[in-house]
Structure 1
Amino acid sequence: MRKIVKFIIPFLILLLAIFFKVFIEKYNLVADDWYEFFNRTGSILLIISIAWASIAVLQISKKMILSKLDVEQEDNLKQRKFLTQFNIMESIIYFLIVLIAIGSALMLFKDVRQLGISLFASAGVAGIIIGFAAQKLIATVLAGLQIAITQPIRIDDVVIVENEWGRIEEITLTYVVVKIWDQRRLVVPSTYFFEKPFQNWTRTSAEILGTVFLYTDYHVSFDVLREELTRLLESTPLWDKRVNVLQVTDAKEYGVEIRVLVSAKDSPTAWDLRVFIREKLIEFIQKYYPESLPRTRVVFEKGEGKDHPEIEK
């Protein structure tokens, strides 16, 4: 009920303002001294109500459009792309409506109108001064518009910003809010995404590869580990059945480095899959091949140093 009243109020004010102006002009029920006051008040009410009604219509349209978008589905790239553009354009329209309404209301006053003409006459110098003063703000706003058009990021994109993993929660004309994995919020200016490199893990698809590194002794059987990896992947729904690779990526004096490469439908799932594979492979080695765990060797040869004169004594 409260939401309905919120949308009805501006339209009631609009009807009241129109009735107020027409009633005064038609019947001239007030004195000439008060006529200008009531006429101007009615005009201001009319401007405010039109602006308010326009914003209400925009909000209603947004609710109707968003109700048809299913952002929660797995393959939601098109929905997130549209939602990003819609949110930024909504901010621009709100700003323009308020700006036009304030300007129209101020132009009803003759003193302000004359002041505006004087300002426009000297707009050359003032424009240069304001341009330098508002250079950062203008650049930030233009960056917000560029995000809406080119879309290097979208709502709910998974990104790495300032070495933090998170999702794009909000995009405005001037700043972007990143919801970090531990529920903190990282707020960065819109210009950041055009001035500094960042990672977007869902730019074209949410699918991602995950790696697990293991360090074992040289006695480990790689073929057995590959078989166990395949069995583990087939036993969990976290794996999307695209990539299943186990390779020896390095060999050093104390053992070998094994890299497991697996795939998942998105980054949170890939993280859970990596943890699962790491734990189970370590348990498998501990249980069936304990001699293959990493170890440091010290070898003493029998009879070593027997010819040393001190030992002979």
Structure 2
Amino acid sequence: MVSFWNLPPLVNAAIALVIAAAIVIAVTFAFTRLFAFLGRDRPWLVLLKRRTRVPFVVVTSVVLAWIALRMTIPYRDNAADVFRHVFVVLLVLSITWAVGSALTFAADLGLSHYATDGSDGWQARRARTQVLVVRRLIAAGTVIIGVGAALLTIPGIAAVGTTLLASAGFLSVVAGLAAQSTLSNVFAGMQLAFSGAVRLEDIVVVNGEWGYIEEITLTYVVVRVWDERRLVLPSTYFTQQPYENWTRESTAVLGTVFFDLDWGVDIPRMRARLDRILDESGLWDGEASSLRITDTVGGYVQVRALISADDAFKMFDLSRTVREEMLLWLQKENPEGLPRTRIQTVQRDGEVFPKPARKPQHPAESADDAERSRGDETKPLRLADIEAARAAAPGVDEK
């Protein structure tokens, strides 16, 4: 045992811990300065320092603390076993953390080879998606392996773990768990990451909602809708359900703007106006521009403007700019093209419509008709008619 000036063991332990802390600080400072000097022209060294500095400090601290306490405090049999198990568990966990950080650095290093913008932006988004999923797998695997290794240092648990790993029943348990929905989502998340079906910032349409992929995890995918809502969907949705991906190979998209106009619209001038609007908008990518009449139905002319943009967000703004500017142009420069409803009456010169022919009447009927009073179409009763009616009904008594 090490003793400083014959001091009590606890005081010696405190002094040893202070010395260990000083050594950790000195070593950390030296490595930091070394990485800063060597990393001026090597960005990967800066990334390595950022990822591994804290785990390195933790591992060094655990090792030096174990040595300092072991050399200054006397332990009996049971206390020595507990002391050893505690520091073995801490060392295993810290080393596992350091290994996981190194693997995360390797994943980030692979991502740094891709540009975040430019012509290969879709490749960068695919790499980011894969790296994020790999990092989550590394984190989950590191925790599982670290905790399992720490538990296996305990003799009783180690025996149980060895028995389970060696038994065929354990494999059947794993197979049964894999069939559950949770692990199905995990496998689906890994499939999405490495198949490239969807990537971060992809423009998608799911369940009738338009948005872009904001986050991909091992179990779910977050879609940010255009109105700032979030759709949280299980990973299995994108492996089992149909959906639209507008940026599968490229972010460029085509758009259409339709106008229902009158037959008096000036198509050549309207086409020239469209070209000018696109040039001045700052949103057009210069790939596609056309103006065509697509249909003539119901007394209207349907005109379609085909436009293009670098991504769906610019297309959203560009289509509305084209619609608004074209409407203002029609109102000021070509009002004859505005939609309208026409009603037209036609009269032929010299045409005389024939009058309906009248049925010839008996002279007696003409005399009777003449006796009708004006404004009253009822025929007046005559004495002869009254006498004829009485003769036809002899049973009616006169009053």
TM-score range, shorter chain: 0.7 to 0.9
Structure with bigger gyration radius: 2
- Is contact 2:108–2:131 with CA below 8 Å preserved after alignment? no
Picking from 226, 238, 256, the partner of 1:193 is: 238
Instruction: Kindly report which structure 2 residues correspond to 1:109-258, keeping only aligned pairs within 5 A, or say none.
Output: 109-120=154-165, 123-124=168-169, 128=172, 131-132=175-176, 134-135=178-179, 136-258=181-303
Q: Deviations over 1:83-123 (max 9, x none)?
A: 11111111111111100111111112233233334544665
RMSD: 3.1
3-state DSSP class of the match of 1:165? strand
Question: Higher mean Cα deviation, 44-53 or 113-122?
Answer: 113-122
Query: Aligned equivalents of 1:77 and 1:308: distance in 2?
Result: 81
1:38 maps to a residue whose letter is F
Per mean C-alpha deviation after superposition, the further-off stretch among 74-83 and 257-266 is: 74-83
Distance 2:249 2:268 in 1: 35
Under a length normalisation based on structure 1, what TM-score does the superposition of the two structures give? 0.85
**Runs of 5+ consecutive residues of structure 2 not aligned to the other structure:** 1-48, 357-399
Distance in 1 between the 2:191 and 2:135 partners?
15
Match of 1:228, as an amino acid? Answer: R
TM-score (norm 2): 0.68
- 1:233–1:13 Cα change, 3 Å: closer
Q: Is the 8 A contact 1:211 1:260 kept in 2?
A: yes
Specify the code of the residue in structure 1 equivalent to 2:341: T
Q: 1:232 to 1:28 in 2, by over 3 A?
A: closer
2:140 matched residue in structure 1: 95
- Post-superposition Cα deviations, 1:122-155, rounded to whole Å, max 9, x if no partner, equal 653x654664455212221111111122111111
Alignment check: 8 A CA contact 1:14 1:50 kept: yes
Q: Is the 8 A contact 1:158 1:201 kept in 2?
A: yes
Given that 1:17 and 1:43 are in contact with CA atoms closer than 8 Å, whether structure 2 keeps it comes out as no
* 160-169 vs 32-41, which moves further: 160-169
Equivalent runs, 1:62-77 vs 2, <5 Å: 70-73=115-118, 75-77=120-122
Structure 1 residue 69: Cα displacement: 5.2
CA separation of 1:64 and 1:145: change in aligned 2, threshold 3 A: closer
Q: Aligned with 2:250: secondary structure?
A: coil
SS at match of 1:83: helix
Give the partner amino acid of 1:252. V
Check 1:63–1:122 CA distance in 2 against 1; reply closer, same or farther (3 A cut): closer
Partner AA of 1:193 in structure 2: F
Match of 2:371 in 1: none
Q: Output the amino acid matched with 1:86.
A: V
User: Of the two structures, which has the highest relative contact order with CA contacts closer than 8 Å and spacing of 6 or more?
Assistant: 1
1:72-83 alignment runs, 5 A limit: 72-73=117-118, 75-83=120-128
Q: Which runs of 5+ in 1 are unaligned?
A: none
User: Map of 1:16-35 to 2, 5 A cutoff?
Assistant: 16-21=61-66, 29-35=74-80
The CA deviation at 1:262 is: 0.9
- Change in Cα spacing, 1:40 to 1:187, as seen in structure 2 (3 Å) is same
Please give the secondary structure, in 2, of the residue aligned with 1:235.
helix
